[in-house]
Amino acid sequence: METVDLERSDSGVVTLTLNRPARKNAIDSVMWTELLTVFREVARRDEDRVLVVTGAGDGFCSGADLGDDDNVGPQRHHLRSMHEVNDVALALRQIPKPVIAKVNGVAAGAGLNLALGCDLIVASEKARFSEIFARRGLSIDFGGSWLLPRLVGLHKAKELALLAEVIDSREAERLGIVNRVVPEEKLDAFVDDWAERLAAGPPLALTMTKRLLDAGLLSSFEDALQAEGLAQTVNFGSHDTREAIASFLQKRTPRFHGR
Give the CATH number for residue 98.
Answer: 3.90.226.10
- Rounded mean pLDDT, 73-91: 81
- Rounded mean pLDDT, 111-123: 98
Give tens-digit pLDDT for 60-76. Answer: 999 999 987 665 555 55
Whether 257 maps to a domain, the answer reads no
- Do residue 31 and residue 144 come from a single domain? yes
- Do residue 67 and residue 167 come from a single domain? yes
Domain interval for residue 243: 203-250
Q: CA 158, 18, 181: angle at the middle one, nearest 5?
A: 55
CA atoms within 13 A on the CB side of 166: 11
Whether 258 maps to a domain, the answer reads no
Give tens-digit pLDDT for 1-45. Answer: 999 999 999 999 999 999 999 999 999 999 999 999 999 999 999
Averaged confidence pLDDT in the chain: 95
- Count of CB atoms within 10 A of residue 234's CB? 12
More reliable by pLDDT, 214 or 73:
214
- Do residue 134 and residue 194 come from a single domain? yes
